[in-house]
Structure 1
Amino acid sequence: MFFYLHTKQFLKFGYVFLGLLISFGSSPTLDANPSYDEGDIYFFDSVSQNRNRPPQRPHPDLHVPNIPLKQEVTVFSNEPSDKTAYPYIQTTINFVEGNLSLKAFLSDGTEVAYSTRGEHIRFSKCFGDHCIIVSQKNLLGVSNSSTEWEKGHIFGEERYQVAMGHKATLVASERKLYLYNSYTNHWETISLEQETLSGFANLYDKVAIITSRRIIVIDLASEMQYEQNLFLRRIYQFEMRDGFINFYARNKLWMFRHQTEAFEEVDLTD
């Protein structure tokens, strides 16, 4: 009888001990697997294969620089209504971005390269016969009539608006207008003196710029510039045509004739 009780207690103790071994052997083990690509640590349950991802945290050896916010470059839209009937414009030039360089390919197959080392590209586009690049340091332009990228310097402006035409592009800041002329591969700077840009258009070799104080017409081939004071009037509509450009200001019309290269004022109240 004593032997039977002793054996029963021994077996009971053995069953409990075996159960504890099984429970400890089946408990999940956590293996840390650091991912150095993303700076996170992932934990894997070796039994259930469930993957738990804790909140992201950078790797202790990873230095994250304090990068300033990208400065703003927007596409300009005309405030006065542009009624110009633009023809179909085919883009005949393009560029590709390489390692620290940009290469433009002209319509004749010429390759024009520019090193972007030390510069951050903020805007880039090709349209018509030219390409434009805006970086934090420079304005760059190249056209089918050029052999190199033409550089226009900028002086600390933070906000830009860009408007592209077939032969010219306008880059406008709060203080200046920068016009790229694809005919001459040249940047021209126009100061804004207590005035704001309201309209821009480019048809063939003529450029029309409208501000809150004046109208500017530029002939790209000769680089001649013609101005008309608005006398506090507001242009609400304009239209470029082959032989003239019309600027409407309610009861006034200013017509720029290509043949005479002069403005004619027409009273619309009669």
Structure 2
Amino acid sequence: MLSKRHRKQFLPWIPITLGFVLLVGLMPNLFANPDSFDGDIYYIDTVGQNRSRPPKRPHPDLHVPSVPVKQDITVFSNLPTDKTAYPYIQTTINFVEGHLSFKAFLSDGTEVSYSTRGEHIRYNKCYGDHCIIVSQKNLLGVSNTSTEWESGHFFGEERYQVAMGHKASLVASDRKLYLYNSYTNHWETISLEQETLRGFANRYDKAAIITSRRILVMDLPSETQYEQNLLLRGIYQFEMRDGFINFYSRDKLWMFRHQTEAFEEVDLTD
């Protein structure tokens, strides 16, 4: 037990002693390199109350390869309801995959071969009177009226939708439509300018394309195209028949007559 006189002598040294202890404890942090803490952030696990260190960021001088984008091809499905009564369609052409090649066998027995060396086949199918192939380099088509695989103009898009009809097939990207015509063994390129594909159908010698802005009807043997502006209306249903094609909006009907090769507008509110 300290006497009253000794306590008076000891008390002034208490603040000095505490300050010295605090200074010694803070010295490592005061002289540490601040750059060593760059990005050194801790996150608190609110479930287990455990601290976890995030993964270190790669050094800027190191090359980290990017993950390749998956090339996607899907089967296109019409948004407008398709009421077309399609006849029974028999596939009269076939192909088989050989060693670095595809061999198409036409209805008359002719064999048409295509080398796939250096190409990655993303889609291939035969239907009706023609076959198509989509690779990372080419669009290809062959039909019973051709003697070789026909290559289409290709712009290297990564995503496609594919729709096949009896006499024509459509390969649609975000920017363009590629239509294969089996009558002429030709690829037709149609640009999409601020519009999107809504529907596609092929019955006999006519192909119909519906976008968000227009209707396109193509006569396949002559490759003639007929266009109708939708005037900001949407098509909710269409139907292809022997003599005409009907495109239904809410208050209007656009009828394409095969005989006159023209669109007729009918007001459905009368």
Q: What letter corresponds to residue 97 of structure 2 in structure 1?
A: E
Measure, in 2, the Cα distance between the counterparts of 1:117 and 1:68. Answer: 22
Measure, in 1, the Cα distance between the counterparts of 2:223 and 2:86. Answer: 22
Q: What letter corresponds to residue 147 of structure 2 in structure 1?
A: T
Native 8 Å contact 1:159 1:173 kept in 2: yes
Q: Deviations over 1:108-151 (max 9, x none)?
A: 00000000000000000000000010000000000000000000
Q: What letter corresponds to residue 110 of structure 1 in structure 2?
A: T
Shift of 1:153: 2.6
SS in 1 for 2:231: coil
1:232-247 alignment, distance < 5 Å? 232-247=232-247
Which residue is 2:95 aligned to?
95
Which residue is 2:23 aligned to?
none
Which residue is 1:118 aligned to?
118
Shift of 1:93: 0.3
1:164-203 alignment, distance < 5 Å? 164-203=164-203
Measure, in 1, the Cα distance between the counterparts of 2:76 and 2:237. Answer: 16
Q: What letter corresponds to residue 205 of structure 1 in structure 2?
A: D
Which residue is 1:140 aligned to?
140
SS in 1 for 2:145: coil
Shift of 1:156: 1.9
Q: Give aligned pairs, total.
A: 206
1:76-87 alignment, distance < 5 Å? 76-87=76-87
Measure, in 1, the Cα distance between the counterparts of 2:216 and 2:67. Answer: 39
Measure, in 2, the Cα distance between the counterparts of 1:116 and 1:153. Answer: 17
Bigger strand share: 1
Native 8 Å contact 2:153 2:189 kept in 1: no
Shift of 1:70: 4.3
Distance 1:163 1:107, change over 3 A: same
Shift of 1:202: 0.1
Counting aligned pairs with the same residue, the percent is 86
SS in 2 for 1:233: coil
Which residue is 1:231 aligned to?
231
Q: What letter corresponds to residue 113 of structure 1 in structure 2?
A: S
1:44-63 alignment, distance < 5 Å? none
Moved more, 154-163 or 69-78: 69-78
Q: How large is the Cα RMSD of the aligned pairs?
A: 1.4
Shift of 1:155: 1.1
SS in 2 for 1:265: strand
Measure, in 1, the Cα distance between the counterparts of 2:67 and 2:252. Answer: 51
Measure, in 1, the Cα distance between the counterparts of 2:174 and 2:166. Answer: 24
Measure, in 2, the Cα distance between the counterparts of 1:171 and 1:240. Answer: 20
Native 8 Å contact 2:175 2:193 kept in 1: yes
Q: Deviations over 1:74-129 (max 9, x none)?
A: 00000000000000000000000001000000000000000000000000000000
Native 8 Å contact 1:137 1:153 kept in 2: no
Native 8 Å contact 1:142 1:149 kept in 2: yes
Q: Taking structure 1 as the reference length, what is the TM-score of the superposition?
A: 0.75
Shift of 1:225: 0.2
Unaligned runs of 5+ in 2: 1-65
Which residue is 1:16 aligned to?
none
Which residue is 2:17 aligned to?
none
Unaligned runs of 5+ in 1: 1-65
Q: What letter corresponds to residue 152 of structure 1 in structure 2?
A: G
Q: Taking structure 2 as the reference length, what is the TM-score of the superposition?
A: 0.75
Which residue is 2:255 aligned to?
255
Q: What letter corresponds to residue 203 of structure 2 in structure 1?
A: L
Measure, in 1, the Cα distance between the counterparts of 2:223 and 2:168. Answer: 12
Measure, in 1, the Cα distance between the counterparts of 2:101 and 2:68. Answer: 23
SS in 1 for 2:228: strand
Which residue is 2:149 aligned to?
149
Q: Could you list the runs of 4 or more consecutive aligned residues of structure 1 that deviate by over 3 angstroms after TM superposition?
A: 66-70
Which residue is 1:38 aligned to?
none
